[in-house]
Amino acid sequence: MTDRPGTPPAPTGPSGPTGGKLLDAVAVMDTLRSPGGCPWDAEQTHRSLLRYLLEECYELVQAIEDDDQAAMREELGDVLLQVLFHARIAAETPAAAGGFTIDDVAGDLVDKLVRRHPHVFAAGAGAAGAAAAAGQPADSAPDAGPSTAQDQQTRWDELKKAERTSKNGKAHVLDGVALAQPAVALAGKLGSRAAKFDDHTPLPDGDSAAEQIFRIAYAAGAVGIDPETALRQVAREHAERMRAGTIDVPPAGQRQGSTGVSD
C-alpha cells in the first residue's frame, strides 16, 4: 500500500507494526458477512445496527466515566466492531452508487487528520507545503503551529469552516451539527454554534419543561459548557445517593404518581 503524502510512519510494538490485529478484525468481519458465515450478521443493515451502535457508545462512555480500563478496552472493541460492520455492509454497494470500504474510511480519516494538523505533518515539506495543507497562500504560511490547546481549537474551527465553505460554497451555522444526538447535547451544540457565528435567532419562550430545559442547555453551550456531560454527572451522582439509600419500594401500582406502565 502506498503511503499518502505527509502520513507518519506506522508505529511498531513488540510483536510488529501497531495495528496489525486490525487486519485480522477486518478479515473476521468479512468472513461473518460472507456466504457460509453468520446468518444473523448477513441479515443486518445500517438501520438495524443503529441501536447497537448507540448502546456500545453509551457503554464506552460509562467505562470512561468509571475509569475502568478493562471495560474501556472491551467497549472500544465493541465500538470498533460497529465501524467494521457498517463499512463491510457499505462495501457491498458499488462505488459508483456510493459504496465504500474500510480502507476508504481509514484513508479519509488520515487525510482529515493530516489536513487539520498542517503544522505537524507538513513541516518537512517546507513553508509551501504547510500553506497548501492549511489552504493558505504560500507567502502566508505560519512559521510555527499553535502553542496551546486553545490555539489549536481555534485553528481547527478555522480549518473546518474553510472546509465547509469549499464544499458548500459558504459556511452555515448548522454545518456539521448532528441533529440525531441526544436532545440536551443538541441544545448545547446549537448554543455553541450561535455564539461562534453571532446568530441571534429568537429562542422558544414558552414555559413547558422542554422549552425551559432547552434554554438552559443552549445557554450553557453558548459559554463553552457541555450540558450533556454536566447533567449526566449530576444525574449519576444522584443515582449513587439513591442507590445508597435504604428505603422500602412499594409495588409499581402503589407508588405515588406511578402509571404502572413505564417506571
Is 126 a residue whose pLDDT tops 60?
A: no
pLDDT band per the 50, 70, 90 thresholds, residue 201: very high
DSSP single-letter state for residue 144: S
Q: Is 132 exposed, middle or buried (0-12, 13-18, 19+ CB in 10 A)?
A: middle
Is 15 a residue whose pLDDT tops 90?
A: no
C-alpha closest to that of 145 among 158, 155, 157, 159: 155
Is 137 a residue whose pLDDT tops 50?
A: no
Q: What is the pLDDT of residue 39?
A: 97
Query: Which residue pairs, CB below 8 angstroms and at least 24 apart, start in 214-221?
Result: 214/183, 214/187, 217/184, 217/187, 217/188, 217/191, 218/187, 218/188, 218/190, 218/191, 218/194, 219/191, 220/188, 220/191, 221/187, 221/188, 221/189, 221/190, 221/191, 221/192, 221/195
Is 113 a residue whose pLDDT tops 60?
A: yes
Contacts of residue 47, defined as CB under 8 A and 6 or more positions apart, other chains included, come to none
173, three cell numbers: 451555522
Task: Give 19-35 pLDDT, tens digit per residue.
Answer: 899 999 999 999 999 99
97, three cell numbers: 452508487
Q: What is the pLDDT of residue 29?
A: 97
CA distance 220 to 216: 6
Is 129 a residue whose pLDDT tops 70?
A: no
pTM for the complete prediction? 0.69
Average pLDDT, the chain: 83
CA distance 85 to 79: 10
Lowest mean pLDDT among 105-109, 192-196, 246-250: 246-250
Task: Give 204-239 pLDDT, tens digit per residue.
Answer: 999 999 999 999 999 999 999 999 999 999 999 999
CA distance 116 to 134: 7
Q: What is the pLDDT of residue 240?
A: 92
Task: Give 148-189 pLDDT, tens digit per residue.
Answer: 777 776 776 676 666 666 666 666 888 889 999 999 999 999
Q: What is the pLDDT of residue 89?
A: 98
